[in-house]
Amino acid sequence: MEQAPKAAEAPQAKGKKTWVVIAAVVIIAIVIVAALYVLRYPPFNTSDLGTPVAIVESSPPSCGTIQNCYYDPAIKNVTVNTKVTWTNNGQNPHTVTTDPSASPLDSGTIAAGGATWSYTFTQAGTYKYYCTIHPFMKAEVIVTIVT
Ligand SMILES: [Cu+2]
């Protein structure tokens, strides 16, 4: 009489263990897929930042002249469909701006301390830009077609 319930319990316990293993495998798979997704897309994927232009302050926080605050390089040569990323390494906010009728660069404020702004150039041309906060800061991106 006592053995009958025990015999019934054993397969039930085995079934539960199987489900625990399946649940663990599913959870691990979800974690792996989530991790791969996070690593693949920005801001985690630093390789997607494109080619860099640094916003430099040589004697921060002073930003009174072009010697103090500038884009590096001042002339950036890229090919069509290149993504350019500006990084503000300074202690002042800056912008990457052109006349909207001439060019589409309009970053808004790029915050101090490492903020970035990116733009992918899909048309060949010379894109002169400046900083609206420090108008003496001027630079350009020259975009050429790959031949
Ligand atoms: Cu500026």
Residue 81 Ramachandran class (φ > 0 left, ψ -120 to 50 alpha, else beta): left
Q: How far is the CA of 87 from the centre of ligand 1 (A)?
A: 12
Q: How far is the CA of 57 from the centre of ligand 1 (A)?
A: 9
CA distances from 133 to 41, 52, 70 (A): 31, 21, 12
Structure tokens at 93: 């906010």
Q: How far is the CA of 4 from the centre of ligand 1 (A)?
A: 83
pLDDT per residue as tens, the chain (147 positions): 555 555 555 556 778 899 999 999 999 999 998 888 777 665 555 557 789 999 999 998 999 887 899 999 999 999 999 999 999 999 999 999 997 666 689 999 999 999 999 999 999 999 999 999 999 999 999 999 987
Q: How far is the CA of 70 from the centre of ligand 1 (A)?
A: 8
